[in-house]
Amino acid sequence: MSPEPLPALAVHGLGKSFGTHTVLADIDLNVAAGTVFSLLGPNGAGKTTLVRILATLSKPDRGEVRVFGHDLSAEPDAVRRMIGVTGQYAAVDGVLTGTENLRLTGRLLHLGAAETRRRTAALLERFDLVDAADRPVDGYSGGMRRRLDLAMSLMGRPRIVFLDEPTTGLDPRSRRDLWSAIRELAAEGATILLTTQYLEEADQLADRIAVLDGGRIVAEGTPEELKRLAPGGHIRLRFADRHLLAAAARAVPTAVGQMDPEQLTLHVPSEGTAAEVKHLLDCFADLDIGVEQLTVHTPDLDDVFFALTGHPSRTESAA
User: Site residues (CB under 6 A) for ligand ATP?
Assistant: 18, 21, 23, 41, 43-49, 88, 197
The span from the CA of 191 to the CA of 35, in Å, is 5
Least spacing, CB of residue 113 vs ligand ATP, in Å: 37
191 binds Mg ion, rule: CB under 5 A: no
The residue (of 23 and 55) whose beta carbon lies closer to ligand ATP is 23
The residue (of 88 and 204) whose beta carbon lies closer to ligand ATP is 88
The residue (of 2 and 20) whose beta carbon lies closer to ligand ATP is 20
The residue (of 27 and 244) whose beta carbon lies closer to ligand ATP is 27
88 binds Mg ion, rule: CB under 5 A: yes
CA distances from 73 to 2, 38, 139, 148 (A): 29, 23, 39, 30
97 binds Mg ion, rule: CB under 5 A: no
Q: Which stretch binds Mg ion (CB under 5 A): 80-88, 117-125, 174-182, 204-212?
A: 80-88
Residue closest to 107 by CA, chosen among 57, 155, 154, 149: 155
b/e map of 198-217 (b: 16 or more CB within 10 Å)?
A: bbebbbbbbebbbbbbebbb
Least spacing, CB of residue 28 vs ligand ATP, in Å: 18
48 binds Mg ion, rule: CB under 5 A: yes
The residue (of 43 and 254) whose beta carbon lies closer to ligand ATP is 43
b/e map of 1-19 (b: 16 or more CB within 10 Å)?
A: eeeeeebbbbbeebebeee
Q: Which does 191 bind (CB under 5 to 8 A by kind): ligand ATP, Mg ion, none?
A: none
The residue (of 217 and 252) whose beta carbon lies closer to ligand ATP is 217
Strand order across the 160-164 sheet: 83-86, 160-164, 191-196, 36-40, 208-213, 216-221
Least spacing, CB of residue 85 vs Mg ion, in Å: 13
Which amino acid does the sequence have at 130? Answer: V
Q: Are 202 and 37 in contact (CB under 8 A)?
A: no
Site for Mg ion in 203-222 (CB under 5 A): none
End-to-end CA distance of the chain: 50
**Which residue is nearest to Mg ion, using beta carbons?**
48
